[in-house]
Amino acid sequence: MHRIPATFFLLAALTTAAYADTWLVVPLSNLTAKPNMNWIGESAAESITEALTREGILVVDREDRKEGERRLALKPNTRWTRASILKLAESLDADRVVFGSFEMAASEGAGMGTLKLAAQTINVRDLRKGGTFSETGPLEDLATLQSHLAWQVLKYSAPQSAPSEEQFRLTRTSIRVDALENYVRGLLAEDPDAQERYFQQALKLDGRYSQAAYQYGRLLFLRNNNPSAALQLEKVKNWDPHYRSATFMLGIAKFRMNEFRAAEAAFLRVSKEVPLSEVLNNLGVTQFRLNQPEAVENLRRALEGDDKDPVYHFNLGVALLSRGANAEAAEQFRATLDRDPKDQEATKLLGRSLRPPTTGISREELAGLERLKLDYEDAAYQQLKVLMSPKKK
C-alpha cells in the first residue's frame, strides 16, 4: 500500500464529505454456445471500466478483481450466480457492481453476426437494483457497441458530470474488432510470451490502440528492454487511464538509457498530477544527475511522504553529501541504517560523511549510487480522490 503525503490527508480532513462509491465491473457472461467468444465479455468489462475510471470514478482494477475471483474459487469463463457476484463485490469492498451477459444471432448477410450486450447495476449495500442497459448490432462494430454501453453505465453512475454521448464518442477511437480480440486475449493469457504476441498483433492491426501500447510497453519494461519499452509507452494517450503509469515507466526507461532530460520531463508530468513519494523520489534522483538545485527539495518532499522507507533517506543523504552538507547527510545515512542495518553502501557513505569537509566526495563519484523506485500504482491517487469526493446519494 502506498503512503500518501501528510499534506494530502490534511486536505482530506478539511472536507466534510464522505468517501465516494467504489465500483466493480465483472465480465459479461457468454450466453452463446461458443467458448471461443468468452473474450467479448472481458472486452465489454474493460470498456466500461475505462469509461468510469476516465471520469474519476473509483473502480476495482482487473488484477484485484482476478485475485478476488481466486480467493472465492470463482472459475473464469463460467456463468456466475448473482449471489457469487455480490460475494465477490463484498470481498473487494465495492459499493456497486456492474454485470450482465451477451448473446449472438446469425447474420442474414455476409456479416459476422448480430451481437446483443446487456448489463445492469446493483447497490451492494442494500441490494437495490440500479440501471439496466443494452446494445445490439453487428459484431464487427463491437468497439462502437461496447462504447455506447459504457456511456450508458457512466451516465447512470455520474448523471451530473458525465459528458454527452457525442462528447464521449469524440474522445474514443473505434478500434477494429480483430485488434480488440487480440488485445483481450492478451489480457487473458497467462504466459508472458503469449501476451506479447497478442499485444503485438493488436498493434499491428490497429496502431492507434493506446491500451495495447501500454500493455505491450509494460511487458517490455518488465523485461528491461528499455528502448523498445519507451517506444511503446510514448504511444499511450493522455486520456488513457494508464497514462500516468505509462509515463512513470517511461521516465525509468529513459533514465536507464541515460536520457536524463527526457526522464525528468516524464517524472515532472506525473508529479504535477500525482505527487506521490515514488514519483518525487525519481524526479529528484534524475535532477541530481542533471545537477539541478531542485533535486534536494524534491527528495525532501519524497521523504516527507514516507519517512519509513530507507530509499528516500539514502537518496537525500547522497544529494546532501554531494553539496558538502556532511552533517545532514550523516543523519540521513543513520536513518537509512536504522531501517536497513545491512545496507553496506549506506554504512560506507556514513563513514565518508563523518570525515573532515576537506576530504569531501564529488557529485561524479556519487552518480550511479542513487536508487530509483520501480513500483507505481495509480490506486494511491484514486484513493486520495475518493477521500476528497462527496458520497453519491
User: pLDDT of 376-391, one tens digit each?
Assistant: 977 666 666 655 655 5
CA distance 50 to 173: 13
Cα dist from 388 to 24, 36, 51, whole Å: 20, 43, 21
- Is 156 in the same domain as 288? no
Residue 266 maps to a domain: no
Q: Provide the number of structural domains found in the chain.
A: 2
Assign residue 286 the CATH number of its domain. 1.25.40.10
Lowest mean pLDDT segment, chosen from 87-101, 284-298, 345-359: 345-359
- Taking only the tens place, the pLDDT of each residue in 110-166 is 567 899 999 999 999 999 999 999 999 999 999 999 999 999 999 999 999 999 999
pLDDT at 9 over 50: no
* H-helix or E-strand spanning residue 246: helix 243-256
pLDDT at 3 over 60: no
Residue 127 maps to a domain: yes
User: Cβ distance 269 to 247 under 8 Å?
Assistant: yes
Grid cell listed for 267: 517524472
User: In 3D, which of 295, 301, 300, 333 has the Cα closest to residue 314?
Assistant: 333
Residue 213 maps to a domain: no
Residue 177 maps to a domain: no
User: In 3D, which of 123, 119, 117, 121 has the Cα closest to residue 145?
Assistant: 117
Residue 14 binned pLDDT confidence (cut-offs 50, 70, 90): very low
Show the beta-strand stretches assigned E in 106-194.
Answer: 114-123, 129-138
User: In 3D, which of 247, 290, 240, 283 has the Cα closest to residue 264?
Assistant: 283
Residue 238 maps to a domain: no
Q: Quote the distance between the C-alpha of residue 205 and its chain's center.
A: 25
Angle at 63 between CA 60 and CA 68, to 5 degrees: 75
Assign residue 131 the CATH number of its domain. 3.40.50.10610
- Is 12 in the same domain as 149? yes
CA distance 56 to 2: 19
- What interhelical angle do 192-205 and 210-222 show, nearest 10? 150
Per the listing, cell 565518508 goes with: 352
- Is 142 in the same domain as 277? no
CA distance 313 to 306: 10
Angle at 359 between CA 356 and CA 364, to 5 degrees: 135
Last residue of a domain, one of 118, 136, 171: 171
Grid cell listed for 333: 545515512
User: In 3D, which of 166, 161, 129 has the Cα closest to residue 147?
Assistant: 166
Last residue of a domain, one of 171, 186, 202: 171
CA distance 32 to 105: 9
- Is 39 in the same domain as 156? yes
Residue 139 maps to a domain: yes
Domain of 141 in residue numbering reads as 6-171
Q: What percent of the chain has pLDDT over 70?
A: 89
pLDDT the model gives residue 386: 59
* pLDDT: which is higher, 18 or 260: 260
Residue 33 maps to a domain: yes
Q: Which amino acid is present at 294?
A: E
pLDDT at 63 over 50: yes
pTM of the model: 0.87
Residue 83 maps to a domain: yes
Per the listing, cell 556519487 goes with: 366
pLDDT at 340 over 90: yes
